[in-house]
Structure 1
Amino acid sequence: MGTDNAGRDVLSRVMSGASSIIAVSVAGASLGIALGTIVGMSSGYKGGRTDEIVMRVMDGLMSFPSLLLALLVLSTLGANHENIIATIGVVFMPRVARVLRSVTLSLKSLEFVQSARLRGEPAPYIIFKEILPNAIPVLAVEGSVRLSYAILLASSLGFLGLGVQPPSPDWGLMISESRNFLVDAPWIGLAPAAGVATLVVGVNLLTDGLRQARGLPAGDDYE
């Protein structure tokens, strides 16, 4: 793949950048899944006015475009790995919360949940020991969907200069740095761009496989 404008080996930087973007995306998506699961299942189980207030807050967060919300957060906190992970988690939390709330609403009226209530089990026990295990298939599919979006979001932030800072081999940053050399040295930008596309397509294929194996509809159908 040759070298970039600074004489650095492109293949080595692409391979090194892969581990960085995967780590950040997995951590950010996992944080969003964890927060969304807690908020969505607790809200759905509680119901009533609490559920209404929580869901309106989630709707408010979802009204912001993901990239715009991420830019607002990172421009305030600063760009580093920890803040990028936290930002991805906050951006994805509302969408996960809505999906898990819908699943909780459909499960909490079933007999095994009612039986746990009659035994006097506390709400946290019912949510995480009775309802959550039955929501794992949906959660797995939703998690893989969020992972593909996390990869795109992390790459976009890097391209805009709010991701990992130079000279780190971030794919989005590498694409941004190659803009002035697309005619003379297109491989500088095409290599990381191909990496992003391949990774996202691979995760999407995994998502479709999980969904078909479990016989589940698309994640948005639960909202």
Structure 2
Amino acid sequence: MSGQVTNISPQIPKVQTEDEQVISPWKEAWRTYRKNKVALIGLGIVSFFILLAIFADFIAPYGFKETELANKHIPPSAAHWLGTDEFGRDILSRIIYGARISLWVGFSAVSGSIIVGSFLGILAGYYGKWVDAIISRMFDILLAFPSILLAIAIVAMLGPSLQNALIAIAIINIPTFGRLLRSRVLSVKEEEYITAAKAIGMKDARILFHHVLPNSMAPIIVQGTLAIATAIIEAAALGFLGLGAQPPAPEWGKMLADSKDFIIQAPWTVFFPGISIMLTVLGFNLMGDGLRDALDPRMKN
């Protein structure tokens, strides 16, 4: 008796290749970012200064307040790798502790600018009409003044201190993020999913914070990274003018101001704080350029 033999071969599931797998936009952005060697250098520089700031108490060989007048203006040596200043304070230790101040000012000021500017920008872009008119005119007024002069005016009214310098830097950067979010919201709110959310009766607050804001974060992240570099320069400028951190705080701009009279006698007292500012700003700028390339769809092939 013959019967038909059925071929019962096991079905092997098809394995998706890496290109066929669904990758989240943020993972795709990170993959793109890792391919940018210059951006990785920027990330490395920023990470280096962040680690200095976090572990300053363990890395710095001396306290930033320790003075020894007998050792003033000692050139770089085994005991003081970057030399000493006019009070005999170790410059390396002050630069390490100064990283805390500069990074704290940069991150705090930009965070405040992002929060306030994004809130105002979202309101202006989403509601339009008189709300947009009022907020946009506020931005125009702030942008009408040169940023550093406006910061000086604000600190002059509030009084010279690091906290007031931080407030001033945050205020002058609000219009940048506000106008960026406004333009982004004007585009996003016309998308079909926003129209669908309105059609089912979703409240404006939920639409704004669950749909509009998440889809507007990419340009904010890029601009925020670049703004940190600008904030560090502005903090150093205010410190150089005596309107920022006050002695004995080891703020890099203040260190430059205190050493400007000794640039011929002890050039290392100016060079090393200046190179610290330059490297930190360079790191954030390189990192911001890499984030722009990774997050902006127009920059991808």
Tell me which residue corresponds to 2:128: 47
> Quick one: distance in 1 between partners of 2:120 and 2:258?
39
The answer for the alignment partner of 1:92 in structure 2 is 173
Post-superposition offset of 1:48: 1.1
- Other-structure match for 1:103: 184
Amino acid at match of 2:231: A
The answer to whether the Cα contact below 8 Å between 1:148 and 1:200 also exists between their aligned partners in 2 is: yes
Residue 153 of structure 1 aligns to which amino acid in structure 2? Answer: E
Pick closer, same or farther for the CA change 1:145–1:157 going to 2, 3 Å. Answer: same
- Render the CA deviation track for 1:31-78: whole Å, top value 9, x for unaligned: 001111000011100111220221011011111111111111111111
| Matched length | 218
- Name which of 70, 91, 113 aligns with 1:10: 91
Q: TM-score, normalised by structure 2?
A: 0.70
Residue 145 of structure 1 pairs with residue 226 of structure 2: yes
Scaled by the length of structure 1, the TM-score of the pair is: 0.94
Q: CA RMSD in A?
A: 1.3
Q: Distance in 2 between matches of 1:80 and 1:111?
A: 49
1:175-215 residue CA offsets vs partner (Å, 9 max, x unmatched): 01111100010010111100000000000000011011123
Query: In structure 1, what is the equivalent of residue 42 of structure 2?
Result: none
- Whole-angstrom distance in 2 between the partners of 1:81 and 1:113: 43
What residue is the counterpart of 2:253 in the other structure? Answer: 172
For 1:221, the equivalent position in structure 2 comes to none
Amino acid at match of 1:96: F
In the TM superposition, structure 1's runs of 4+ consecutive aligned residues that sit over 2 Å from their partners are: 79-82, 215-218
Please state whether the residue corresponding to 2:236 is helix, strand or coil.
helix
In the alignment, what sits opposite 2:155?
A: 74
SS at match of 1:23: helix
Whether contact under 8 Å (2:151, 2:172) holds in the other structure is: yes
2:268 is aligned with 1:187: yes
Aligned mates of 2:267, 2:146 — CA distance in 1: 31
Q: Equivalent residue of 1:178, what SS?
A: helix
Deviation (angstroms), 1:142? 1.1
Which stretch of structure 1 is more off in the superposition, 47-56 or 25-34? 47-56
Q: CA deviation at 1:79?
A: 2.4
Q: Which amino acid in the other structure matches residue 246 of structure 2? A: Q
Task: Please point out which of 157, 167, 172 is paired with 2:238.
Answer: 157
- Unpaired runs of at least 5, structure 2: 1-81
2:84–2:90 contact (8 Å) kept in structure 1: yes
Q: Could you tell me whether the CA contact under 8 Å between 1:35 and 1:89 is conserved in 2?
A: no
| Pairing partner for 2:200 from 119, 123, 128 | 119
Hey, which of these two has a bigger chunk of helix by percent?
Answer: 1
Which of 37, 50, 63 is equivalent to 2:144?
A: 63
| Structure with the greater alpha carbon radius of gyration | 2
How far residue 89 of structure 1 moved from its aligned partner, in angstroms, is 1.2
CA shift, 1:217, in A, is: 6.8
Larger RCO (CA within 8 A; separation ≥ 6): 1
